[in-house]
A and B are shown apart, each in its own frame.
Chain A
Amino acid sequence: MYDSGKIIIGLIIFAGIFTSPFWYDLSGGKEALKAPVLVLPTKADQQVCVNTLEYMRADHMVLLNDWRYEVVRLGDRTYQSPDHKEFNMSLTGTCLNCHANSAQFCDQCHSYIGETPYCWECHTEINKPENMQ
């Protein structure tokens, strides 16, 4: 084999660089991303959500989009939950009543998965100090 020395050294360097993430991880590396910690409402009258836990976890964005459509475009502001309770379709008025702090609730998962919804560019977060009156 011609130039075997150069080739083998090159291969060793390549293998080293290629596997470097594993070495970095084995030598301590960075801490794993922390799992989201949600602060849930504690008051007794705040224990019922507008829909089931499973549905809200997976499809809250669908629900919010439906609310937007019904309130803005159809002018219908009352939501019937699966167990026939009525809620006012309002992000600030209904959701934030219980989940008062978006940083401790919404942002936890959104930041974890790198999602940046722009709800709060327009909707008012009542509990943000700069929005307090």
Chain B
Amino acid sequence: MNKSRRNFLKIAGITAVGVTAGKFIPAEVKDSTAQLISKNSGLLKKGTAVKTDSKVRLAMVVDLRKCKEGCTKCIDECNKIHNIPNFGESKDEIKWIWKEPYENAFVDQENFYLSDALKNKNVPVFCNNCNNPPCVEVCPTQATFQREDGIVMMDWHRCIGCRYCMAACPYGSRSFNWRDPRPFIKNINPDFPTRTKGVVEKCEFCDERLSQGLPPACVEVCPEKALAFGNLNDPESDVRKLLKENFSIRRKPELGTNPEIYYLV
């Protein structure tokens, strides 16, 4: 093979540049790459991990034995105080709390013969405010994020309406505002913002009430006292006591999202 002097010098030059280039990559680029890799490897084994490092881990317990058929007090109160619009059709319904037949809420409970109490039961379902929320993982703008106490919050200022979170949520807990919701709100509660066209919304465990030391509105308003709310990391809390004394199930726990709403059946 004939090599001209010119070609030899060209190749030698390119090789030299290639070999030395690695040394000149700024440290922060290297760090962020390493972080990205470690973050993604964390994803693989995340399924079973429970974040227990924070002091507060908020959760709700729903006693289905007490929850009355046909009662929608919690839903009505939630809709009222959170300015939830009623578009008058189910296609673009906005849901923070709603009722779902037991078989649909707990698709993983494959028992063919259900007890009569559960067979035609309509179960109140919420955003599970998962301990390992897939919606937060996919949000490209960090509009949805997890607070220290476990609440999966929405920052409506940042939401760009891409609906990745809705695709990621295995519970259908998120709703999208296809239209301007304002004209569809009967009485606007001035203490809570409305939403605008093109943002996603969901239950946030009434963070605005928690900040005033009040329990979530649904818990307070339930006439049967079927809902309990508290800190899972506190062994003396209502929720821990209920979970200690009763058998509980959660929605689709096999997905590894660690839902924070427990149902007593």
Write the residues of chain A forming the contact surface with B, with a CB cutoff of 8 angstroms: 68, 72-73, 75, 77, 92-93, 118, 121-124, 126, 131, 133
Contact of B190 among A72, A73, A118, A126 (CB under 8 A): A126
Cβ distance A44 to chain B, nearest Cβ, rounded Å = 24
CB within 8 Å of A: which B177-203 residues? 180, 187-196
Using known A-B contacts A93-B191, A124-B188, determine if residue A75 contacts B196 with beta carbons closer than 8 Å.
no
**Is B87 part of the contact surface with A, judged by Cβ < 8 Å?**
no
How many A-B residue pairs lie within 8 Å, measured between CB atoms? Answer: 37
The 8 closest A-B pairs by CB, nearest first: A121-B196, A122-B193, A124-B190, A126-B190, A72-B155, A123-B193, A131-B188, A122-B196
Task: Please tell me if the beta carbons of A133 and B147 are within 8 angstroms of each other in the complex.
Answer: no
Main SS class of interface, B? loop
**Is B136 part of the contact surface with A, judged by Cβ < 8 Å?**
no
Task: Please tell me if the beta carbons of B194 and A73 are within 8 angstroms of each other in the complex.
Answer: no
Give 24 A-B contacts (CB < 8 Å), ordered by A residue: A68-B157, A72-B153, A72-B155, A73-B145, A73-B153, A73-B155, A75-B207, A92-B190, A92-B193, A93-B191, A118-B196, A121-B196, A122-B193, A122-B195, A122-B196, A123-B193, A124-B83, A124-B188, A124-B189, A124-B190, A124-B192, A124-B194, A126-B190, A131-B188
Write out the residue numbers on chain A whose beta carbons fall within 8 Å of the beta carbon of B192. Answer: 124
Task: Please tell me if the beta carbons of A122 and B190 are within 8 angstroms of each other in the complex.
Answer: no
Write the residues of chain B forming the contact surface with A, with a CB cutoff of 8 angstroms: 83, 145, 147, 153, 155-157, 180, 187-196, 207, 211
